[in-house]
Amino acid sequence: MSADPPSSGKRLPIGLMVVGSEMASFTLLGLLLDFGLGTMPGFTIGLTLLGLFVAFYHLVKMSKALSAKPEQKAPGEDQGGAP
């Protein structure tokens, strides 16, 4: 395991955007169903909770995939060899 502390880096906004959009889309779908069927707030609550679960599942899955890949160095960086 690396001694370096974890960093959010440039990946954090992407993960939060995916999670937010998934949860928001489930919530909006629930609102539309409730409005159309007149069952307020049943579908909204149910689909919001489902969206929350799916969003966190994808966030964990993305974070595991990103943490497994080694950091790529820029082409001009030294590769640790002799000068």
In terms of phi and psi (left: phi > 0; alpha: psi -120 to 50; beta: otherwise), the region of 23 is alpha
Residue 8 lies inside a defined structural domain of this protein: no
> With contact defined as beta carbons under 8 Å apart, do 28 and 43 qualify?
no
Total domains in the fold of the chain: 1
Residue 36 lies inside a defined structural domain of this protein: yes
Nearest to 47 by CA among 33, 62, 37: 33
Instruction: Quote the domain boundaries for residue 51.
Output: 13-65
**Mean per-residue pLDDT, 57-70:** 79
State the Cα–Cα distance between residues 44 and 40, nearest whole angstrom.
7
pLDDT at residue 83, rounded to an integer? 55
pLDDT at residue 23, rounded to an integer? 85
Residue 44 lies inside a defined structural domain of this protein: yes
Residue 60 lies inside a defined structural domain of this protein: yes
**Mean per-residue pLDDT, 7-36:** 82
> With contact defined as beta carbons under 8 Å apart, do 75 and 65 qualify?
no
Residue 82 lies inside a defined structural domain of this protein: no
Average pLDDT, the chain: 78
pLDDT at 78 over 70: no
Residue 79 lies inside a defined structural domain of this protein: no
Residue 17 lies inside a defined structural domain of this protein: yes
Per-residue pLDDT tens for 25-51? Answer: 999 999 999 999 999 899 999 999 999
